[in-house]
Amino acid sequence: MRLPDFDDVIAAHQLIREYIHCTPVFTSSAINNITGAEIFFKCENLQKTGAFKFRGACNAVFSLTDEQALCGVGTHSSGNHAAALAFAASLKGIRSHIVMPSNSPEIKKKAVEGYGGIITYCEPNLQSRETTLKKISESLGLEIIHPYNNSKVIAGQGTAAKELMAEVSGLELVMCPVGGGGLLAGTALSVKALSDTCRVIAAEPAGADDAFRSFNVGYIIPSVQPNTIADGLLTSLGEINFDIISKKVDNIVTVSEDSIINAMRLVWERMKLVIEPSSAVPLAAILENKETFRNLKIGVILSGGNIDLGKLPF
Amino acid sequence: MRLPDFDDVIAAHQLIREYIHCTPVFTSSAINNITGAEIFFKCENLQKTGAFKFRGACNAVFSLTDEQALCGVGTHSSGNHAAALAFAASLKGIRSHIVMPSNSPEIKKKAVEGYGGIITYCEPNLQSRETTLKKISESLGLEIIHPYNNSKVIAGQGTAAKELMAEVSGLELVMCPVGGGGLLAGTALSVKALSDTCRVIAAEPAGADDAFRSFNVGYIIPSVQPNTIADGLLTSLGEINFDIISKKVDNIVTVSEDSIINAMRLVWERMKLVIEPSSAVPLAAILENKETFRNLKIGVILSGGNIDLGKLPF
């Protein structure tokens, strides 16, 4: 199978550009002072459906032939891909069936329903997700749009870093969180195509460090009983994702739960932005390793802002 | 005394433009669907120091002669003007002395100190604020910059609506909260100069309705024991402010505490923006009176985002 490349990101951007937000890039002198770095935050929490996931879902859905789209699309997702796919499907006028773990945050369930997605609940583990999705997709003839192990999804997610690189010149490093690896793979495609020198480093919760370990041993180690507040990063790496990540990503670092919460609070307090815990993971890595990142010009993708305000960690 | 007019707003904008953020204007299709209106949110929560107050403080401080600025500036403020003045003074390289009520939110005290302001605490009432400020300003020779009853401050605050009107054409209504009336007076100056038809309506908590009552009887009724979560709106109207508001504002409406909290939550959840309760008051008014505002193209100034995350109402 051909891996997606930057041409696919360019094609994705053409296809989805008029449906997505070109999200703003914000800076914070307070956070620059605290970290000693110069950070440019790409605000995908302000993307439609509240996360970068809408980019990939749009590209995947809009790339379907009419025949493929006929019976609708299906997926499993802990939340943000679910809402993104439901909204993208509604824009194309087709049905979406979403398998969600029963413990998904309330706000993410409501969002899926609000966009017209049809939810089927499953046990909160990968196996239950996959078997449940298989069952409903076979009975309904759905086109399955995997949340990250999908070339169109990866190409779509890469448009965020493409916009970031176009807006901010001279970035020395781009960082994003890693869960399934859709955002990270897409980001790496864009950054490495647009710069000879800019590095790509992903950050991951220490309590869900399957990508960190997989990256270091050279094969996929599945995520087993991950435990982190960053509920968007519980999944295992996809195969296409891992292939790209292995080739193009410079490093993956892990961070503690306390650092994630501190970083999240910093963004809320100083930048007045609501971000979900997963979004705070790269900044947490910078805060944990200030010397490593000092004086660097860094792009950070704030991946999403969907969080249950009734369950804040502070 | 000559009242400030739109020429003063233009002059203020020239003077402060390179120091302030031209804050973004955001929309939310979710909130438009809920309200039935088309709302353009001017995000002064993303302004430097986290509130529109920085505009007025900058204009006031930068307008001082070197002689006036010699011994530094002083003010009393429950928070946002305090941080704004401290930061503006630091940019001009002069000292700032801030009288703050002892019950000011912790985050606002920290912000003032962070910008180099020197805090003197007082009892949480207007009389204690004023006598404390008088005492320290006489002993130190400070130039007092009143938080709202000051023509330069009013002209500075008017630059937010000036930017909003320049960015969004055809607004039928501009709304903002009213406390002391600095933002409202400045907003009215800009809106009424830039449009023959656009109305200006302020919103105020029912538990701190001195502006509502003053507007309706035609003279200033002081705020006595106000009780609202919107801690930026506890003050009484200033005289210069009331004069402009009486002439140029179309209406002032009041809202319940529940509506303020609902509106605030809506902005946090749907727009991913951290706003303080005072900022939510205009949207609360729209939510309470949907029929009145339906189908209108409305500009809403989100006044600030400084809130203690440890004391959220949800």
Q: What are the tens digits of pLDDT across the range B25-44?
A: 999 999 999 999 999 999 99
Q: What are the tens digits of pLDDT across the range A204-217?
A: 999 999 999 999 99
Q: Is B45 on the interface with A (CB under 8 A)?
A: yes
In which band, very low, low, confident or very high, does the pLDDT at B151 lie, cut at 50, 70 and 90?
Answer: very high
Q: Among partner residues B107, B309, B314, which is closest to A310 by beta-carbon distance?
A: B314
In which band, very low, low, confident or very high, does the pLDDT at B104 lie, cut at 50, 70 and 90?
Answer: confident
Out of A34-43, B16-25, B305-314, least confident range:
B305-314
pTM score, two decimals?
0.95
Q: Which residue of A has its CA nearest to B43?
A: A272
In which band, very low, low, confident or very high, does the pLDDT at A238 lie, cut at 50, 70 and 90?
Answer: very high
Which ipTM was obtained for this model? Answer: 0.94
Q: Is A140 on the interface with B (CB under 8 A)?
A: no
Q: What is the mean pLDDT of residues A11-28?
A: 97
Which residues from B are below 8 Å from A30, CB to CB? 114
Shortest CA gap B306–chain A (Å): 7
Helix (H/G/I), strand (E/B), else coil: A43: strand
Q: Are B53 and B81 in contact (CB under 8 A)?
A: yes
Percent of chain B with pLDDT over 90: 89
Q: Is A88 on the interface with B (CB under 8 A)?
A: no
CA-to-CA distance for B309 and A265, rounded, in angstroms?
Answer: 8
Q: What are the tens digits of pLDDT across the range A262-310?
A: 999 999 999 999 999 999 999 999 999 999 999 999 999 999 999 989 8
For residue A185, the model assigns a pLDDT of 98
For residue A101, the model assigns a pLDDT of 87
In which band, very low, low, confident or very high, does the pLDDT at B110 lie, cut at 50, 70 and 90?
Answer: confident
Q: Which residue of B has its CA nearest to A107?
A: B269
For residue B108, the model assigns a pLDDT of 80
For residue A278, the model assigns a pLDDT of 97
- What residue ranges define each of the domains in chain A, with the CATH number in brackets? 6-51+150-306 (3.40.50.1100), 54-144 (3.40.50.1100)
Q: Are A98 and A112 in contact (CB under 8 A)?
A: yes
In which band, very low, low, confident or very high, does the pLDDT at B77 lie, cut at 50, 70 and 90?
Answer: confident
Q: Is A275 on the interface with B (CB under 8 A)?
A: yes
User: CA nearest B260: which of B246, B275, B243, B248?
Assistant: B275
Shortest CA gap B67–chain A (Å): 31
Centre a 10 Å sphere on the Cβ of residue A24 and count the other Cβ atoms it contains.
14
Q: What are the tens digits of pLDDT across the range A44-78?
A: 999 999 999 999 999 999 999 999 999 999 998 87
Cα angle value A112/A204/A269 (rounded, 5°): 70
Q: Is the pLDDT of residue B268 over 80?
A: yes
Which residues from A are below 8 Å from B310, CB to CB? 314
- Between the alpha carbon of residue A178 and those of residues A22, A280, B102, B143, the distances in Å are 22, 11, 44, 53
In which band, very low, low, confident or very high, does the pLDDT at A105 lie, cut at 50, 70 and 90?
Answer: confident
Q: Is the pLDDT of residue B180 over 80?
A: yes
- Mapping DSSP onto H, E and C, the string for A84-149 reads HHHHHHHHHCCCEEEEEECCCCHHHHHHHHHCCCEEEEECCCHHHHHHHHHHHHHHHCCEECCCCC
Helix, strand, coil percent content, chain B, rounded in steps of 5: 50, 15, 30
Q: Is the pLDDT of residue B148 over 90?
A: yes
For residue A134, the model assigns a pLDDT of 95
Q: Are A305 and A275 in contact (CB under 8 A)?
A: yes
Q: Is A312 on the interface with B (CB under 8 A)?
A: yes
Q: Is A105 on the interface with B (CB under 8 A)?
A: no
Contact across the interface for A273 and B274, Cβ inside 8 Å = yes
